[in-house]
Amino acid sequence: MNFKTIEVKDKKLILLDQTVLPGKTVYNSYEDFRDVITAIKRLEVRGAPAIGIAAAYALALAVEIRADYDLNGLKKIMVDVAREIKDARPTAVNLAWAIDRCLAKSYQYEGESVDEYRTIFWNEADAIHAEDIEMCDAMGRFGAELIPDGSTVLTHCNAGALATGGIGTALAVFYKAAEMGKNIKVFADETRPLLQGARLTCWELMQAGIDVTLLTDNMAGYAMAQGKIDAVITGADRITQNGDVANKIGTYAVAVLAEKHNIPFYVAAPESTFDKELETGDDIIIEEREPDEVTNGFGIPTAPAGVKVFSPAFDITPHNLVTAYITDSGIRPGGRTK
């Protein structure tokens, strides 16, 4: 990859601003955790793994700027900071998972040094980042074995290097398949309303030299009916214990279409995306976005002023529509039997 989604230099968090891609390549530098929260909310950084990494670094930034606190005061304030970061985007489980992991590590500290306490957060954020790179590589290897040479695969939204600390989840499969010498073609859904498929997935795959064709979201069914798609691979923002999947809005429709046309539907996600607390998709809080993202996309009015808008950012794909889960520890069977 000739770009980095997340980087740290001199205790500053540097994020590739995904709101201006593909027209511009802009990197923003942050020293204040509150600015990172804003960046997460406005989708400057997005994708469940990448959000988790950014959240972990936001905690590290928070503990760094609280120079006027003693150790006990710092420990107390970090609990409040953690809660504030968690509220940035409630659906993606990696955000809360990363925050809880960093806090749990800090609770183990029994020393009296403020500097040592601060270092715990930086080290844990670095570890989460490094582990994600390895997990992406593993998912790519496992998933590439599922895709025959010559296949055309549909993907929805962006689950690549832009959404992770490594080479991606769903898109990692394409990168690894290409490394294996397989001739893989990709169809990318546009992904309304913010066009992550068009703006991000197509840009990313073209950077890597992967053959990609753009579709609007409502073309997927026709492409399947025409025999143009051999498999579907998406990412996931949260997977419950029974295997229900929360992912970008529109994923459910693609899964239904895939089952109708007897096309395998795969979900690529690290083990950290599996929620150990929630049993089914009914328990997942679905984030709703601002109406302007639909009525004035990218600043251009596309609907009558004042019209009511329903704009969930995610939907739930039931486990019985999933053929298999591609994880960093291997392939898990899904609930779909045909």
> Whole-angstrom Cα distance, residue 241 to residue 80?
28
Instruction: Judge whether 247 and 157 are in contact, CB under 8 Å.
Output: yes
> Whole-angstrom Cα distance, residue 99 to residue 152?
38
CB burial of residue 310 (10 Å; 0-12, 13-18, 19+): exposed
- Check 189, 237, 244, 315 and give the catalytic one: 237
Question: How far is C-alpha 95 from the chain's CA centre?
Answer: 10
- Laid out side by side, the sheet with 27-30 consists of 6-9, 12-16, 27-30
Helices 93-107, 114-144: axis angle to 10 degrees equals 140
> Whole-angstrom Cα distance, residue 295 to residue 287?
18
Residue 233: phi and psi, rounded to 5, are: -130, 125
Quick check: is 292 catalytic? no
Place of tokens 């950014």: 54
Q: Find the helix or strand (DSSP H, E) in which 265 lies.
A: strand 265-268
> Whole-angstrom Cα distance, residue 107 to residue 96?
16
- Laid out side by side, the sheet with 324-327 consists of 211-215, 185-189, 152-155, 231-234, 265-268, 324-327, 330-333
Place of tokens 């395998």: 264
The count of other CB atoms within 10 Å of the CB of residue 80 is 10
Cα of first residue to Cα of last residue in the chain, in angstroms, is 36
Which residues are identified as catalytic?
237
